[in-house]
């Protein structure tokens, strides 16, 4: 399958928030690690742009002022739209639906369902 950096970034945000066990938890952990590896350069570019357009707080965090948000988003979008091939770890629909995922999380993570590296048929 093909992902944009932005799609992968959004998926990572969801995967990091999900707390599952069993086959679903395994697939989530594996996909999280793989996607973070794929996004290494994107994270570095995003951090560079946060420093470029943001202002540092006393605690070392950065905030992007309202007047810089548009420029930040425009420049980041150039990298967010770049694509890469990804081979996800997938689970059956039954396994996917057996956990505590919300409908919003399921919508973003529906690429994890069926086919490919299906944990129900791994041998």
Give pLDDT tens digits for 76-89.
999 999 999 999 99
Domain of 73, in residue numbers:
2-118
The tally of domains found in the chain comes to 1
* Per-10-residue mean pLDDT, the chain, length 123: 95 95 95 97 97 93 95 97 95 93 92 64 37
Domain assignment present for residue 22? The answer is yes
Query: For residue 114, what pLDDT is reported?
Result: 81
Token reading at 79: 């990298």
Token reading at 31: 């996909």
Query: For residue 120, what pLDDT is reported?
Result: 44
Q: Helix axis angle, 5-17 relative to 66-80, nearest 10°?
A: 110
């Amino acid at each position: 399958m093909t992902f944009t950096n932005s799609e992968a970034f959004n998926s990572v945000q969801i995967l990091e928030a999900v707390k599952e066990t069993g086959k679903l938890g395994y697939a989530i952990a594996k996909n999280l690690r793989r996607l973070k590896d794929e996004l290494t350069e994107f994270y570095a570019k995003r951090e560079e742009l946060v420093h470029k357009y943001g202002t540092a707080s006393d605690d070392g965090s950065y905030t992007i002022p309202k007047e810089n948000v548009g420029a930040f988003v425009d420049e980041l979008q150039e990298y967010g739209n770049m694509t890469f091939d990804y081979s996800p770890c997938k689970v059956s629909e039954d396994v996917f639906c057996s956990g505590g995922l919300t409908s919003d999380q399921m919508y973003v993570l529906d690429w994890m369902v069926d086919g490919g590296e299906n944990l129900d048929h791994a041998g």
